[in-house]
Structure 1
Amino acid sequence: MEPLWFMVFSNLEGIAWCGLCMVIFRYKPLEYFWPILTVVTIMNLQSFLLRNELELSYMVPAINVIFFVLLFATVLRVPLFGAISMTVVGLISFVLIQTVIAILIFGSVASAQASTVSGYQLQAITALIVGAISWLLYYYGYGFSYDFENARFRYERTTVIFIMVIFMVIATIVLYLNDLWINIPLFGAGLLFFLRYANKKERDY
């Protein structure tokens, strides 16, 4: 049951984080629910496998950030600079909110992470509160409406695809060296998902 509960609560947390990233910059998460759910699920599956290998757990935060940047750049068609900005600002905001919740309810972040149950509780509570905050922000029109199109550079789509391929190659090499074959298809699925959107013609948007 552990993998199931891990996926349930991690998906709740991941969707809440993604939603916060989007509403801060005035994007509507519900319009992209299924792509978000797909990316978050793939992201958390590889996260679960990597966390079982203590030597590779350090890779999880960086991989999650890259997944979100690629999600915003390919699915939402946000320029690369904007995708990075959305991910970083959303991550900082999410971490601050979760830290406050951990301190207020559990006394400290360490206490919230002391057991699996308290960790799941923190994820669920954070997801609910962040979800409520995101809804309020969008409903009342708060957030940044910066036009990232001004920051789009020439050959950006090619650059994004190049980043995806390099990311996949590096991840595959690391997983191969650590004999984690089961994780390689997950990265492959993620790459194909992003490539599908990256190669869509502009008229489809």
Structure 2
Amino acid sequence: MEFIWEALFTILLMDLQSFVLREELSLSPLVPLINIFLFTLLLKTVVRVPIIWSIIISITGYFLMVLIQVGIVNLSFGLLTVDEIHASPVRGYLLQVLSGVIGIAILKIYNFFGGGFDFEFEKLKFKSETVIVYLMIIGTLLSSAILLSRNNSFLDVIFISIAVLFFLFYATRKEKESD
């Protein structure tokens, strides 16, 4: 709640650029990249999280929400198919609300059982792995843009699942190393 106004402003920017890129310019594949960039900027400039961790948090969070939404679509018995969401904005809003509620519930449960981070990112110093991590981040973002533009949800889910597991494993490992 400490950063609510900054977060709301960033969300407004994300929504506006998403609308313009999708509806006006037909550049839908760029939307996830720009949203990740804007969220990274929020974390870096307002919350003061170091840039590498801002990027990891942004990518992991975005990809987890994609997985939740794919799960909802696949379990909705045809109510929330991609075609139905495009035809009826209300169903798109329903998907957004459901994925937000489910995402928050998952994170609360994860946190309740001791998961999560203490957010003492400054303790986590990088050595020779910095270049590899940056290359992984760049590769992940470029690969996701290419995959998402092809509209193959099966490949999207596989790739995004692997990316989420990698970033969660890496972040958890670094967190444990700092203890």
TM-score w.r.t. the length of structure 2 is: 0.59
- Pick from 136, 141, 149 the counterpart of residue 109 of structure 2: 136
Residue 113 (structure 1) aligns with: 85
Query: How far apart in 1 are the matches of 2:109 and 2:76?
Result: 23
1:73 aligned to which of 40, 44, 47: 44
Q: For 2:63, which of 87, 92, 110 is the aligned residue?
A: 92
How far off is 1:53 after superposition? 1.8
Q: 1:63 aligns with which of 20, 25, 34?
A: 34
Partners of 1:79 and 1:151 within 8 A in 2: no
Look up the equivalent residue of 1:34 and give its one-letter code: W
CA–CA separation in structure 2 for the residues paired with 1:68 and 1:152: 22
Separation in 2 of the partners of 1:55 and 1:104? 29
Contact persistence 1:72–1:83 (CA under 8 A): yes
1:45-56 correspondence to structure 2 within 5 Å: 45-56=16-27
Q: Counterparts of 1:111 and 1:46 in 2: how far apart (Å)?
A: 22
2:99 to 126, 130, 134: 126
Aligned-pair CA distance for 1:114: 4.2
Aligned mate of 1:102, from 63, 73, 80: 73
Whole-Å separation in 1 of the counterparts to 2:126 and 2:6: 23
- Residue 94 of structure 1 deviates from its aligned partner by 1.2
Shift of 1:76: 1.1
Provide the rounded CA distance (Å) in 2 between the counterparts of 1:118 and 1:89: 25
CA offset at residue 143 of structure 1? Answer: 1.3
Q: What is the distance in 2 between the residues matched to 1:109 and 1:94?
A: 16
Q: CA separation of 1:42/1:93 partners in 2, compared to 1, >3 Å: closer, same or farther?
A: same
- Distance, in Å, in 2 between the alignment partners of 1:151 and 1:111 is 46
Between the two proteins, what is the percent identity of the paired residues?
40
- Render the CA deviation track for 1:110-169: whole Å, top value 9, x for unaligned: 35534223222211211222232233334554213464213479xxxxxxxxxxxxxxxx
* Residue 104 to residue 45, structure 1, CA distance change in 2 (3 Å): same
Comparing 115-124 with 128-137, greater Cα deviation is found at 128-137
TM-score by length of 1: 0.52
For residues 161-191 of structure 1, the C-alpha deviation after alignment (integer angstroms, 9 at most, x for no partner) is: xxxxxxxxxxxxxxxxxxxxxxxxxxxxxxx
Q: Could you list the runs of 5+ residues in structure 2 that have no partner in the other structure?
A: 128-179
List runs of 5+ in structure 1 lacking aligned partners.
Answer: 1-29, 154-205
State the shift of 1:41 in Å.
Answer: 0.9
Q: How far apart are the structure 1 equivalents of 2:45 and 2:54? A: 9
Q: Note closer, same or farther for the CA distance 1:92–1:46 as it changes in structure 2 (3 Å cut).
A: closer
Amino acid aligned to 1:39: T
CA shift, 1:31, in A, is 2.5
